[in-house]
């Protein structure tokens, strides 16, 4: 695939002005006048200044979103018009692909090729996917007793708050915005303070193209205060949160002590990847597993951070994977040669380094990495070498706690039952992988793995048509597929007496 050149000059210019909140179709400063800086994780340089939303700004966004929800400009669109609106947004994202990919890389630190090839196309396509669902959501005709007709219908919920993290800032927001708008809701999006730029730009693009009525899409940039205000707001009907398990619990608490708004949570993971000794093509298994773990600088919720490897092939596996980690080139995320960019922000960078020290203290064997990349010392960027620990016990903290960075644990097992036991011995349950050339074993193990998604012989398959989401402390509910439509509608049962 050919990659359009990055728009660095354009971005430099765009970043010169500070960025505001997008409420009711207008750009506005925060009521407190507070701002915060967006920092480039590649070199610690300030990119721009953003408005910091507080409680009052959230109140204003809720008023605007409520008004737009009730307003006929949005409510009375025909299904075809609503679908066309979503298709137009998809097209606008495609037209601005290089621009948005440039901002994502400047803000998040992932390579430009990752932003351009992985994040951007899906951010656009998800709008087309949900546009096509708009006229395909049916209720049921329910077989009740004679004399009555009973049927169900799916209705929009109302004002939806969408809170997203910094690892796929635009993409994960679009995963929520598209189905929410498709079902006729209005939204307030809150990005992570570390990566707000692409969503600011998306709102500008949508405003310039006049595709949405005012107030249907609102953006509040900020952090904890805005997030808490959204969780606890009485005027919000639904909150969809993607982020850490710790904050997800606070969101659920905020919803429960306020108005019991509907909550969906996409949270953390510590996903296992079991590799049996019957695999015929170990090179292919290592290659795919390595890619699934370390792409996007290993800041992916569903990545396989615990490789559970049969003892008979453990040494061969180590001999194949360690050179891969050693060969990774960290550096300028805009260079086509770079494999791995900078970790997203300073606190996160320090957290990963602390976990690496912890792994050493816990007695795991450091096989690769274990330190910052030399380029970090040159330019101050948050670069960490891909790190692999061998001889890890699943009880170690590095195997139990989500690190969300390039730190992989290798754990040995003796038999199938032990592999499943280790895989499930975690309070997370987002994803799991199993590699085996024995079809019966594949089914047996996949059924026993306690995870929302199981990948057999190819870790990391994603498709809009397939539900995405975890169990246990990895979350509530599913995104993608028709499951997301259920998350953004309420079901009404209507009775009609006819005799
Ligand atoms: P985080 O939980 O720190 O922050 C997520 C969002 O919540 C941010 O927008 C943040 O500003 C906001 N927030 C902070 N405090 C809040 C509060 N008290 N109330 C409401 N909102 C608040 O997560 P992060 O560090 O941005 O992202 C990394 C985490 O996201 C990892 O745990 C990762 O596994 C998870 N994640 C999960 C998925 C998934 O689909 N399951 C996808 C991507 C990332």
Each residue of 62-71: pLDDT tens digit?
999 999 999 9
Which of the listed residues 164, 165, 228 should we mutate to test ligand 1's pocket, taking the one with most ligand atoms within 8 A of CB? 165
User: Ligand 1 pocket: which of 176, 192, 243, 267 to mutate (most atoms <8 Å of CB)?
Assistant: 243
Q: What is the CATH number of domain 8-267+474-494?
A: 3.40.605.10
State if residue 199 touches ligand 1 by the CB under 6 angstroms criterion: no
CA distances from 270 to 70, 317, 421, 423, 458 (A): 42, 20, 14, 9, 18
Tell me how far apart the alpha carbons of residues 304 and 321 are, in angstroms, rounded to a whole number: 14
In the structure encoding, which two tokens stand for residue 269, read together?
């993971």
Q: What is the pLDDT of residues 360-406, one digit of tens each?
A: 999 999 999 999 999 998 889 999 999 999 999 999 999 999 999 99
CA of 302 to the centre of ligand 1 (A): 14
Asked if residue 242 has its Cβ within 6 Å of ligand 1, the reply is yes
Q: How many CB atoms lie within 10 A of CB 153?
A: 14
- Given this model, what pLDDT does residue 62 score? 98
Interatomic CA distance for residues 167 and 119, integer angstroms: 10
* pLDDT tens figures, 171-218: 999 999 999 999 999 999 999 999 999 999 999 999 999 999 999 999
Residue 75: the pLDDT is: 92
Strand partners, 148: 497
Does residue 463 carry a pLDDT above 90?
A: yes
Percent of the chain with pLDDT over 90: 99
CATH 3.40.309.10 domain extents, the chain: 272-464
Model pTM greater than 0.85?
yes
Residue 1 pLDDT: 74
Can you read off the two tokens belonging to residue 400?
A: 């139990």
Q: For residues 119 and 111, what is the distance between their CA atoms, to the nearest angstrom?
A: 11
> Is the CB of 107 inside a 6 Å radius of any atom of ligand 1?
no
Q: Which two tokens stand for residue 1?
A: 């695939």
- Rounded CA gap, 29 and 239, in Å? 24
Tell me the C-alpha to C-alpha distance, in Å, between residue 57 and each of 20, 199, 234, 378: 11, 17, 14, 40
255 CB less than 6 Å from ligand 1? no
Rounded (5°) CA angle 92-120-388: 170
d(CA 280, CA 273): 17
Buried b (16+ CB within 10 A) or exposed e, 469-493: bbebbbbbbbbbbebbbbbbbeeee
Nearest-atom index, ligand 1, CA of 194:
26
Does pLDDT of 271 surpass 90? yes
> Mean pLDDT over residues 248-260, rounded?
98
Ligand 1 atom with minimal separation from the 247 CA: 2
Q: Indicate which residue of 104, 114, 122, 266 is catalytic.
A: 266
Q: Whose CA is nearest to atom 43 of ligand 1?
A: 301
In the predicted model, is pLDDT for residue 488 greater than 90?
A: yes
Query: What are the φ and ψ backbone dihedral angles of 498, each rounded to 5 degrees?
Result: -120, 5
**DSSP β-ladder status, 148-156 and 489-497:** antiparallel
Q: Which strands form 453-456's sheet, in the order they lie side by side?
A: 365-368, 387-390, 407-413, 304-310, 271-275, 431-435, 453-456
Ranges of CATH 3.40.605.10 domains, the chain: 8-267+474-494
pLDDT at 306 over 90: yes
Question: Which of ligand 1's atoms lies nearest the C-alpha of 348?
Answer: 25
Given the DSSP bridges, would you call strands 141-142 and 148-156 parallel, antiparallel or unpaired?
Answer: antiparallel
Distances in whole angstroms, Cα of residue 98 to Cα of each of 115, 219, 456, 461:
9, 22, 34, 25
Is the distance from the beta carbon of residue 222 to the nearest atom of ligand 1 less than 6 Å? no
pLDDT band at 325 (very low <50, low <70, confident <90, very high): very high
Query: Which segments of 210-308 does DSSP mark as H helices, in order?
Result: 224-232, 245-257, 282-294
Distances (CA, A) of 395 to 53, 202, 275, 399, 408: 41, 44, 19, 7, 15
Give backbone dihedrals phi and psi of 212, rounded to 5 degrees, phi first.
-120, 145
Which tens digit of pLDDT belongs to each residue from 116-173?
A: 999 999 999 999 999 999 999 999 999 999 999 999 999 999 999 999 999 999 999 9
Query: Which residue from 236, 223, 225 is spatially nearest to 188, judged by alpha carbons?
Result: 236
Ligand 1 centroid to Cα of residue 148, in Å, is: 47
Helix (H, G, I), strand (E, B) or coil at 1: coil
CATH of 272-464, one of 3.30.420.40, 3.40.309.10, 2.60.40.10, 3.40.50.720: 3.40.309.10
Our answer on whether the CB atom of 192 is closer than 6 Å to any ligand 1 atom is yes
- Centre of ligand 1 to C-alpha 244, Å, is 4
Distance CA 94, CA 88 (A): 10
Q: Indicate the pLDDT class of residue 331, thresholds 50, 70 and 90.
A: very high
Q: Any catalytic annotation for residue 266?
A: yes
In the set 301, 303, 416, 487, the catalytic residue is 301
User: Is 109 touching ligand 1 by the criterion CB < 6 Å?
Assistant: no
Mean pLDDT computed over 332-355: 98
In this prediction, residue 66 carries a pLDDT of 98
The average confidence (pLDDT) of the chain is 98
- Mutational pocket test of ligand 1: of 36, 247, 477, the residue with most ligand atoms within 8 Å of the beta carbon: 247
Which residue's CA lies nearest to atom 16 of ligand 1? 224
Q: Can 418 be counted among the known catalytic residues? A: no
Q: Is the CB of 247 under 6 A from ligand 1?
A: yes
* Max CA separation in the chain (angstroms): 82
């Amino acid at each position: 695939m050919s990659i359009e050149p990055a728009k660095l000059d354009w971005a430099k210019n765009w970043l010169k002005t500070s960025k505001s909140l997008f409420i009711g179709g207008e750009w506005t400063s925060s009521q407190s006048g507070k701002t915060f800086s967006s920092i480039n994780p590649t070199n610690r340089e300030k990119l721009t200044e953003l408005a910091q939303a507080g409680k009052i700004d959230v109140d204003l966004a809720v008023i605007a979103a409520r008004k737009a929800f009730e307003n006929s400009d949005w409510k009375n669109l025909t299904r075809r018009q609503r679908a066309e609106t979503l298709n137009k947004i998809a097209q606008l994202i495609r037209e601005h692909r290089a621009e948005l990919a440039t901002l994502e890389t400047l803000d998040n630190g992932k390579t430009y090729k990752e932003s351009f090839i992985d994040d951007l196309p899906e951010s656009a396509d998800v709008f087309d996917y949900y546009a096509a669902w708009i006229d395909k959501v049916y209720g049921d005709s329910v077989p009740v007793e004679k004399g009555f007709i009973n049927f169900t219908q799916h209705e929009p919920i109302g004002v939806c708050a969408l809170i997203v993290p910094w690892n796929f800032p635009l993409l994960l927001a679009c995963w929520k915005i598209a189905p929410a708008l498709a079902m006729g809701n209005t939204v307030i999006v809150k990005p992570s303070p570390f990566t707000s730029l692409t969503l600011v730009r998306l709102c500008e693009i949508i405003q310039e193209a006049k595709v949405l009525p005012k107030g249907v899409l609102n953006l509040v940039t900020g952090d904890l205060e805005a997030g808490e205000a959204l969780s606890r707001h009485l005027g919000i009907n639904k909150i969809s949160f993607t982020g850490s398990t710790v904050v997800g619990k606070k969101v659920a608490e905020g919803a429960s002590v306020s108005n019991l708004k509907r909550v969906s949570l996409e949270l953390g993971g510590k996903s296992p990847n079991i590799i049996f000794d019957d695999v015929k093509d170990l090179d292919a298994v290592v290659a795919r597993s390595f890619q699934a773990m370390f792409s996007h600088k290993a800041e992916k919720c569903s990545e396989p951070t615990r490789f559970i490897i049969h003892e008979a092939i453990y040494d061969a596996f180590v001999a194949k994977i360690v050179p891969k980690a050693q060969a990774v080139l960290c550096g300028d995320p805009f260079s086509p040669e770079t494999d791995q960019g900078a970790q997203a922000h300073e606190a996160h960078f320090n957290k990963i380094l602390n976990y690496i020290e912890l792994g050493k203290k816990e007695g795991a064997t450091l096989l690769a990495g274990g330190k910052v990349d030399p380029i970090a010392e040159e330019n101050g960027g948050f670069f960490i070498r891909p790190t692999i620990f061998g001889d890890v016990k699943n009880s170690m903290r590095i195997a139990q706690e989500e690190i969300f960075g390039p730190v992989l644990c290798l754990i040995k097992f003796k038999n199938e039952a032990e592999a499943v036991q280790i895989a499930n011995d975690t309070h997370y349950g987002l994803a799991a992988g199993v590699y085996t050339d024995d079809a019966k074993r594949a089914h047996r193990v996949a059924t026993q793995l306690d995870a929302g998604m199981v990948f057999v012989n190819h870790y990391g398959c994603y498709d809009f048509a397939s539900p995405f989401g975890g169990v246990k402390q990895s979350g509530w509910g599913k995104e993608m597929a028709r499951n997301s439509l259920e998350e953004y509608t309420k079901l009404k049962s209507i009775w009609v007496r006819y005799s």
